[in-house]
Amino acid sequence: MRVWALPLALLVVALCVTYSVARRRQPEAPIVPIRPAAVNPEALARRLMSIQGAGWPRSRKFDCSKLKCVALTFDDGPGDYTDRLLDMLHKGDVKVTFFVVGQMVAADKDGRIMRRIVDEGHELGNHSWSHPSLTGLSPEELKRQLQHTEDLVEKLTGVRMRVMRPPYGSTNHDVAAETRREGLAQILWSVDTLDWLNRVPSLVAKRAGEAKPGSIVLMHDIHRTTVEAVPALLDILQKKGYTFVTVSELYGKTPSPGRTYTER
């Protein structure tokens, strides 16, 4: 190697190391908490009185011991496609249960979608604040995940949720005990459409169409392809003579706190 080349090579190496270290030391972007818009307390009080007078959750008193009932459920919202889904459900006079994530609720401007869900007769369920596996949390964090979501939904809509779905279906004795204290029944499912994995509307509709009387069907309204599957799956199930109900309607009453349900 020529004498003049050695210092140049050492300079290049030094610059590369300095750049690499600088990149590794760059701080992560701060997490900015999402804050829901303020709610008019007088309007909320009037709304709460109206909802309590009508009874919550609403029930159309179906006898699912005699009818072919199926409960469609949607997780992880509200999201970008929830409004479109609500349009479809309203057109078909179909009621479902939405298991909402607190962070997604907080991102819903003014709580408009949440109030629409309630106003149109659907049931709301707690799906935690940030969708962790509840079985791996400390008792304090487990309580916060549920309570924070409960409080926010009540603040925005005037209703207190009575059902929940543990993220990933992951539950244990501690989760059961905390949900019992919070007055929440654990709702799992008997039909998994795997709509998060196979985002093909026809496939989602086909899997939902395999429901049996008393089934609870798992879907996610955060996926466009799932919402696109709804007209077809409603048609499939209607042709089989099914009645669409909320989770509470499926059992004829609000399910028992702490207990786990997968189907009727």
Active site residues: 75, 220
Tokens, residue 12: 């290049």
204: burial class by Cβ within 10 Å (0-12, 13-18, 19+)? Answer: buried
Instruction: Map residue 41 onto helix, strand or coil.
Output: helix
N-term to C-term CA, the chain: 81
Other CB atoms within 10 A of residue 58 CB = 17
Residue 247: CA count within 13 A, CB half-sphere: 31
Helix axes 82-92, 112-119, angle to 10 degrees: 20
Task: Report the DSSP pairing between strands 97-100 and 69-75.
Answer: parallel
Answer for the pair 250, 69: CB distance below 8 angstroms, yes or no. Answer: yes
